[in-house]
C-alpha cells in the first residue's frame, strides 16, 4: 500500500511537468502559425503578378524554385517532446484534443495527489489513533462511479469526432495525387494534371546542407500540392508495404501493393512539410523521406505546367495556357541519389 501511494505521487508530479510542457508547446504552435502566415503574405503578391501574365506560366521549370523550409516547421526539432505544430484542420483539432486531454489528466492527477496528502496527514497514527471501521458509503460509491463515467463520456465525444473527421468523404472537386511507395523512394503521380509522375529520392547530407534543408528528410523532387484545396491522396505501393506519413499534416496511411488507400488531405498554409516512410520496408526504409511543398493554387498550377502537366479545367476557362513544357529533370546532382530509383524517361502525356 505504501508503495502504491508513492507511485501515485510520482505520477502526479509527472503530470504537472506535462502541464508545463503542454502550455509551452501551445505557445510554439501560435508562433509557428504566425511564421506561416508571414510566409504566405510574403510569397503571394510577387507570384500573383506572374500568374496574371500567361506567357510566364509556360516558360518551364524556371517558374518554380523549391521553397526554403522554416526551421522547426513541418520537421522534427532537437529534444522535441510534443506533437509537431499542425497545418491541417484535422491536425489542429487533434492537437487541441491532445492538449485538452493533458489538462484532464493534470486535473485528475492533482485531485488524487491532494486526496492522498490529506489522508496521509489527517489520518496518520498520532492524529487518529483509533481508525474508523467504515466499510460502505453508498453516496461516495455512486459519485466515484458516475463522475469518472461522465468524464469518459465527455472525452469520447471529441475523440469520436476526430475519428469521423479522419474518414471524411472526399469532395468531388478534389485534386487527386497518387503516392506510390517503391523500395526505396516515392513516386507522385498527378492524374488530374496530365498523369505525370515525380520521382522523389533522398538527398545526401552534404546536398541537403547546401540547400538549407534537414538531413535525411530533404529530397530532390518534392510532392507539390495546392494550399486550401481538398486533395484526394491515393496511397499505394509497387513492391512491399510502405506507409506515407507526414506528422505536421496529421497524415499517415499504409501503402499496400495492389490496394489503393484513399484519404483527404487539405493543407492550410504554404510551407514545406517533411515525413518518412513509416512501415518497415527493407534495408533502406529509413532513407525514403517525404517532402510535401504546399503552394497557393496559382503557383501550384505553374509548377504543374513546368513538369509538363496540364491544368484541370484550363480549356473551359481559358485562364491558363495548358501547353506542355519539358519534363522536370532530376534535381539531385548525385547520380541516382540515395534510394536509387529509376527516373521516368518520358512524359506519358506527350
Binding site for Cu ion (CB under 5 A): 242, 277, 281
Rounded to whole angstroms, the Cα distance separating 238 from 256 reads 8
Closest CB 291 distance from Cu ion, rounded Å: 15
Which cell goes with 307? 513538369
Those residues whose C-beta lies under 8 Å from the C-beta of residue 15, and which sit 6 or more positions away, are 105, 106, 109, 110
Query: Distance between CA 127 and CA 327 in Å, rounded?
Result: 84
C-beta of 183 vs 189, nearer to Cu ion: 183
Judged by beta carbon, residue 32 or residue 277, the one nearer Cu ion is: 277
* Nearest-approach distance from CB 243 to Cu ion, in angstroms: 7
Q: How far apart are CA 254 and CA 82, in angstroms?
A: 23
Nearer to Cu ion, 32 or 281 (CB): 281
Q: Residue 120 burial by CB count (10 A; 0-12/13-18/19+): exposed, middle or buried? A: exposed
Alpha-carbon torsion (259, 262, 267, 270), positive or negative: positive
User: What's the closest the beta carbon of residue 203 comes to Cu ion, in angstroms?
Assistant: 17
DSSP string computed for 35-71: HHHHHHHHHHHHHHHHHHSHHHHTT-GGG--PPPPPT
At closest approach, how far in Å is the CB of 195 from Cu ion?
A: 23
The least distance separating Cu ion from the CB of residue 50, rounded to whole angstroms, comes to 36
> From the CB of residue 268, how many other CB atoms can be counted at a distance below 10 Å?
18
Full strand arrangement of the beta sheet holding 185-190: 196-200, 185-190, 175-182, 231-237, 261-265
Question: 232 or 242, CB closer to Cu ion?
Answer: 242
For the CB of residue 242, give the shortest distance to Cu ion in the complex, in Å. Answer: 3
Query: In the complex, what is the shortest distance from the CB of residue 99 to Cu ion, in angstroms, rounded to a whole number?
Result: 31
Q: What is the bridge-based pairing of β-strands 223-226 and 251-255? A: unpaired
Place of cell 516547421: 73
Work out how close the CB of 237 gets to Cu ion at its nearest, in angstroms, rounded to a whole number: 8
Q: Which is nearer to Cu ion, 217 or 277 (CB)?
A: 277
Please state, in angstroms and rounded to a whole number, the distance separating the CA atoms of residues 304 and 190. Answer: 9
Only one residue has cell 495556357, namely: 321
Q: How far is the CB of 70 from Cu ion (least distance, A)?
A: 26
Closer residue to Cu ion, CB minimum distance, 57 or 277: 277
Q: Which of residues 272 and 277 has its CB atom nearest to Cu ion in the complex?
A: 277
**Residues in the chain, total:** 350
Which residue bears the cell 473527421?
165
| Residue 273 or 300 having the CB closest to Cu ion | 273
Residues 6+ apart with CB under 8 A from 68: 212, 272
Residue found by looking up cell 501551445 in the block: 26
Query: Looking at beta carbons only, is 8 or 285 nearer to Cu ion?
Result: 285
- HSE-CB of 316 using CA atoms within 13 angstroms: 3
Amino acid at each position: 500500500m505504501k508503495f502504491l501511494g508513492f507511485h501515485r505521487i510520482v505520477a502526479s508530479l509527472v503530470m504537472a511537468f506535462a502541464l508545463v510542457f503542454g502550455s509551452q508547446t501551445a505557445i510554439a504552435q501560435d508562433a509557428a502559425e504566425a511564421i506561416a502566415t508571414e510566409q504566405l503574405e510574403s510569397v503571394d503578391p510577387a507570384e500573383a503578378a506572374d500568374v496574371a501574365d500567361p506567357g510566364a506560366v509556360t516558360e518551364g521549370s524556371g517558374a518554380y524554385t523549391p521553397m526554403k523550409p522554416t526551421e522547426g516547421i513541418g520537421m522534427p526539432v532537437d529534444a522535441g517532446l510534443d506533437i509537431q505544430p499542425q497545418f491541417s484542420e484535422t491536425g489542429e483539432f487533434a492537437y487541441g484534443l491532445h492538449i485538452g486531454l493533458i489538462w484532464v489528466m493534470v486535473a485528475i492527477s492533482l485531485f488524487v495527489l491532494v486526496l492522498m496528502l490529506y489522508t496521509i496527514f489527517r489520518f496518520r497514527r498520532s492524529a487518529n489513533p483509533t481508525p474508523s471501521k467504515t466499510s460502505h458509503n453508498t453516496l461516495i460509491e455512486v459519485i466515484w462511479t458516475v463522475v469518472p463515467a461522465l468524464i469518459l463520456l465527455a472525452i469520447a465525444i471529441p475523440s469520436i469526432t476526430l475519428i469521423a473527421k479522419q474518414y471524411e468523404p472526399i469532395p468531388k472537386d478534389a485534386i487527386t495525387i497518387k503516392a506510390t511507395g517503391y523500395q526505396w523512394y516515392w513516386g507522385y503521380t498527378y492524374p488530374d494534371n496530365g498523369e505525370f509522375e515525380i520521382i522523389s529520392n533522398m538527398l545526401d547530407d552534404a546536398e541537403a546542407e547546401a540547400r538549407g534543408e534537414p538531413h535525411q528528410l530533404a529530397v530532390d523532387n518534392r510532392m507539390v500540392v495546392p494550399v486550401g484545396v481538398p486533395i484526394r491522396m491515393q496511397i499505394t505501393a509497387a513492391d512491399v508495404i510502405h506507409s506515407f506519413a507526414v506528422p505536421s499534416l496529421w497524415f499517415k496511411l499504409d501503402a499496400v501493393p495492389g490496394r489503393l488507400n484513399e484519404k483527404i488531405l487539405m493543407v492550410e498554409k504554404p510551407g514545406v512539410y517533411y515525413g518518412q516512410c513509416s512501415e518497415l520496408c527493407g534495408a533502406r526504409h529509413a532513407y525514403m523521406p517525404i517532402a510535401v511543398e504546399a503552394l497557393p493554387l496559382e503557383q501550384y498550377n505553374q509548377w504543374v505546367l513546368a513538369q509538363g502537366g496540364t491544368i484541370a479545367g484550363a480549356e473551359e476557362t481559358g485562364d491558363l495556357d495548358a501547353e506542355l513544357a519539358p519534363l522536370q529533370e532530376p534535381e539531385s546532382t548525385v547520380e541516382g541519389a540515395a534510394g536509387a530509383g529509376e527516373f521516368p524517361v518520358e512524359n506519358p502525356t506527350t
